Chains A and B, each alone.
Chain A
Amino acid sequence: DSGVTQTPKHLITATGQRVTLRCSPRSGDLSVYWYQQSLDQGLQFLIQYYNGEERAKGNILERFSAQQFPDLHSELNLSSLELGDSALYFCASSVATGVTNSPLHFGNGTRLTVT
């Protein structure tokens, strides 16, 4: 168990809808990362937060947005969903003290199916 919790585990919705994916990082971790993984593909970086502030953006669509709250949990909002948005969405967290790098700890993902 990585200590990172993602909810829901599965989500099935229709095109055009909006969904919110939730992530609780490991206790003490300040950084949260979101990744998208399509079938048999690599990890596509979406966005990174550190202690509530956005730190880096990857190939995140304008229809997608995220935030990290004061209690450090994070939400990824996906709107105007398209069939191609169907994928596994992973959240990861790390301590990231800036003094010593640390590995990312991943949740088990939310599987989004858009029909």
Chain B
Amino acid sequence: GESVGLHLPTLSVQEGDNSIINCAYSNSASDYFIWYKQESGKGPQFIIDIRSNMDKRQGQRVTVLLNKTVKHLSLQIAATQPGDSAVYFCAENYSPSGGYQKVTFGTGTKLQVIP
């Protein structure tokens, strides 16, 4: 999985508002998509995933939307809290063959929650 080494875009949101983080993916053959949250000084953590046969999946306060037509993924966080401040990465997975998966990460978005 590769990602471009650019400085991260930032999204600033007022506490209590909803956040929407967007991601464009590149491979139309990708069949599994994941959002990760990375807090400062830690490794990325799994938040929610979605398979290509779905267009929406909901978790606790989070929803992932998948639009395969335009190869777009979004993460919606309801009632954003200060603890949601982190960098969010999307990832697209493709399994060519042989029991392994090719993972490509997006560039990441930094979410800043304003108290």
B-contacting residues of A (Cβ < 8 Å)?
A: 2, 4, 30-31, 33, 35, 38, 40-45, 48, 50-51, 55-56, 58-59, 90, 92, 94, 96-98, 101-109
Question: Closest residue of chain B to A50, judged by CB?
Answer: B100
Of B11-19, B41-49, B57-65, B71-79, the segment with at least 4 beta carbons within 8 Å of chain A is B41-49
Given A101-B32, A101-B93, are A45 and B98 neighbors across the interface (CB < 8 Å)?
no
B27 within 8 Å of A (CB atoms)? no
Query: In the complex, A6 Cα to B71 Cα: how many Å?
Result: 34
Instruction: Please count how many residues in chain B sit with their CB below 8 Å of the partner chain's CB atoms.
Output: 37
A96–B100 contact, CB under 8 A? Answer: yes
B70 within 8 Å of A (CB atoms)? no
Q: Which 9 A-B pairs have the closest CB atoms?
A: A98-B99, A106-B43, A101-B32, A42-B3, A50-B100, A103-B46, A45-B2, A45-B1, A101-B93
Q: How far is the CB of B26 from chain A (nearest CB, A)?
A: 14
Q: How far is the CB of A113 from chain B (nearest CB, A)?
A: 14
A-contacting residues of B (Cβ < 8 Å)?
A: 1-8, 31-32, 34, 36, 41-46, 49, 51, 89, 91, 93, 95, 97-108, 110
* B interface secondary structure, majority: loop
A40–B42 contact, CB under 8 A? Answer: no
A104–B100 contact, CB under 8 A? Answer: no
Given A103-B49, A106-B44, are A96 and B5 neighbors across the interface (CB < 8 Å)?
no
Query: In the complex, A97 Cα to B93 Cα: how many Å?
Result: 13
Given A31-B101, A43-B105; 11 other pairs, CB 8 A cutoff: A40-B8, A41-B5, A42-B4, A42-B108, A43-B89, A44-B2, A44-B3, A45-B104, A50-B100, A56-B102, A101-B95
Residues of B with C-beta under 8 A to A103: 34, 36, 46, 49
